[in-house]
């Protein structure tokens, strides 16, 4: 062994000695690293995710409250369009669509307050990219804090979205909608909010639990009931803006409220084929597409069996919604009917025992009118508008 080799061997021996002396220290450090990695895995749903802006699914939260609130669902009277504001028993809020036109922003501001302060929107859903649903969304994102945003898997091809990342702006392309400024402005507003977001699909559901301090635990569920959307690629098969609509079942106190956006017959058929009939049986249905005859087939109504229907449409709208055929289908279904064009904002309140109460903003009209189609309402429009103006 020459001098060089002797030196080397001495070094090796010294390293061995050092390791053996600190063996337990090294084992301890490795164990700590393993534990930290395992905890990170479990808390992130077995995936590494250090971003708060990923399209991952929510798993529901538990909230402690002093006092349990009733669940309220408000179908705001925003003329021809949809805007649904929900307050859950734990005080969390959800907005589904925001209607169209500046003049309807007052209605949004009127209801989206609590004790004189603007509410925080824990959840905000754009059901699909039509202007009567998302035109006022940029206003909402500008005026209100939004924590989590849901939207369909639709890509914008407008040159207004050049600052969006590829990960954010992706999905199917439907030319008539993908290139609109309205959709681009909506996407920009979500992006700039820097909130959590996801493309909704069948697994976007969550159940939140509410613990009341004096005792009692209550649960409510927001179920994205879209069994025909197995993964985001399934949006490719729909190929029509209305059919991208989020189908949402809100469940509390044993009562169920089904909201279908503007989904049309094609989606209703897929829903009837694929959804669990027991889960689809609802107490309240917001009729699809403002009561148009593109939606609400007898098969669909017989499947979801609504005791009450709400139609969200404008007085004397240019599409003549609701349609006669739809009204006949609803009559055959023996549902009670509520309409925003005649009765203004409709508020549903559900308590923890499942007692359900409907409140109407205007109660001045004959019940027969509830079954008038768009053309018949056109003849009554002056009278309806007068009542609404007087009240405002």
Looking at the Cβ atoms of 132 and 196, the one nearer to Zn ion is 132
Q: Which is nearer to Zn ion, 208 or 295 (CB)?
A: 295
Binding mask 88-127 for Zn ion (x = CB under 5 A): ----------------------------------------
CA dist., res. 140 & res. 123, Å (int): 12
Question: Minimum distance between the CB of residue 133 and Zn ion, rounded to whole angstroms?
Answer: 5
| Bridge partner list, 125 | 96, 150
Ranges within 199-218 binding Zn ion (CB under 5 A): none
Q: Given the structure tokens 């609109």, which residue do they identify?
A: 180
Residue whose structure tokens are 């989606």? 267
Q: Give min distance, CB of 132 to Zn ion, in A.
A: 4
Count of residues binding Zn ion (CB under 5 A)? Answer: 2
In this chain, which of 55, 90, 122, 132 binds Zn ion, going by CB under 5 A? 132
| Strand locations in the chain (E) | 62-65, 71-75, 84-87, 93-96, 113-114, 117-118, 120-121, 123-125, 145-146, 148-151, 196-199, 206-212, 217-224, 248-252, 255-259, 284-286, 308-311, 336-339, 346-350, 356-360
- What is the rounded radius of gyration, in angstroms, for the C-alpha atoms of the chain? 27
Beta bridge partners of 351: none
Which of 311, 151, 351 is CA-nearest to residue 241? Answer: 151
Is the Cβ of residue 84 or residue 210 nearer to Zn ion in the bound state? 84
262 lies in the site for Zn ion, by CB under 5 A: yes
Count helices and strands in the chain by DSSP H and E runs: 13, 20
Give min distance, CB of 82 to Zn ion, in A.
6
Nearer to Zn ion, 193 or 262 (CB): 262
DSSP per-residue codes, 115-174? TTEEPEESEEE--SS-HHHHTTHHHHHHHSEESEEEE-SB----GGGTTS-TTTS-SB--
Q: Which residue has the tokens 């889960």?
A: 279
Query: Looking at 119-127, 248-256, 257-265, 371-379, which segment touches Zn ion (CB under 5 A)?
Result: 257-265
Pick between residue 76 and residue 356 the one whose CB is nearest to Zn ion: 76
Q: Is 341 in the site for Zn ion (CB under 5 A)?
A: no
- Beta 217-224 vs 206-212: how paired, if at all? antiparallel
- Print the binding letters for residues 299-338 with Zn ion: x by CB under 5 A, - otherwise: ----------------------------------------
CA distances from 45 to 38, 228, 293 (A): 11, 25, 43
Of 119 and 285, CB closest to Zn ion: 285
Stretch that binds Zn ion, among 61-69, 87-95, 129-137, 159-167 (CB under 5 A): 129-137
Nearer to Zn ion, 85 or 252 (CB): 85
With contacts defined by CB under 5 A, name the span among 12-20, 131-139, 267-275, 324-332 that binds Zn ion: 131-139
Given the complex with Zn ion, which of 259 and 356 has the nearer CB atom? 259
Nearer residue to Zn ion within complex by CB, 82 or 196: 82
Query: In Å, how far from its chain's centre is CA 159?
Result: 27
Residue 77 in contact with Zn ion, rule: CB under 5 A: no
Q: Which stretch binds Zn ion (CB under 5 A): 174-182, 258-266, 322-330, 335-343?
A: 258-266
Residues that bind Zn ion (CB under 5 A): 132, 262
């Amino acid at each position: 062994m020459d001098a060089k080799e002797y030196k080397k061997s001495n070094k090796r021996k010294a390293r061995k000695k050092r390791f053996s002396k600190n063996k337990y220290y090294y084992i301890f450090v490795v164990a700590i690293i393993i534990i930290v990695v395992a905890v990170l895995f479990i808390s992130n749903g077995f995936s590494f995710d250090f971003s708060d802006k990923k399209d991952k699914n929510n798993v529901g939260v538990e909230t402690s409250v002093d006092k349990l609130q009733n669940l309220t669902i408000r179908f705001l009277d925003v003329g021809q369009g949809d805007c649904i504001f929900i307050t859950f028993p734990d005080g969390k809020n959800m907005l589904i669509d925001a209607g169209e036109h500046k003049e309807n922003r007052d209605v949004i501001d009127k209801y989206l307050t609590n004790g004189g302060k603007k509410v925080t929107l824990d959840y905000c859903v754009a059901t699909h990219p039509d202007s009567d649903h998302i035109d006022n969304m940029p206003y909402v994102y500008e005026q209100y804090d939004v924590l989590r945003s849901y939207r369909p898997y639709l890509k914008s091809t407008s040159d207004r979205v050049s600052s969006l990342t590829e990960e954010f702006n992706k999905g199917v392309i439907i030319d008539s909608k993908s290139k609109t400024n309205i959709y681009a402005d909506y996407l920009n507003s979500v992006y700039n909010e820097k909130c959590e977001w996801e493309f909704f699909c069948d697994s976007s559901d969550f159940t939140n639990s509410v613990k009341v301090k004096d005792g009692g635990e209550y649960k409510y569920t927001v179920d994205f009931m879209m069994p025909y959307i197995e993964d985001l690629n399934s949006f490719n098969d729909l190929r029509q803006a209305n059919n991208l609509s989020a189908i949402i079942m809100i469940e509390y106190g044993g009562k169920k409220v089904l909201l279908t956006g503007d989904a049309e017959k094609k989606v209703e058929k897929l829903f009837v084929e694929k959804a669990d009939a027991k889960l689809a049986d609802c107490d309240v249905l917001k009729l699809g597409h403002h009561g148009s005859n593109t939606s609400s087939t007898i098969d669909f109504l017989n499947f979801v069996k609504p005791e009450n229907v709400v139609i969200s449409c404008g007085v004397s709208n240019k599409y003549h919604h609701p349609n006669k055929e739809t009204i006949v289908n609803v009559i055959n279904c023996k549902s009670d009917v509520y309409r925003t064009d005649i009765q203004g904002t409709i508020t549903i309140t559900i308590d923890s025992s499942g007692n359900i109460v409907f409140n109407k903003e205007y109660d001045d009209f004959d019940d027969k009118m509830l079954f008038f189609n768009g053309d018949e309402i056109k003849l009554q429009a002056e009278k309806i508008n007068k009542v609404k103006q007087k009240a405002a």
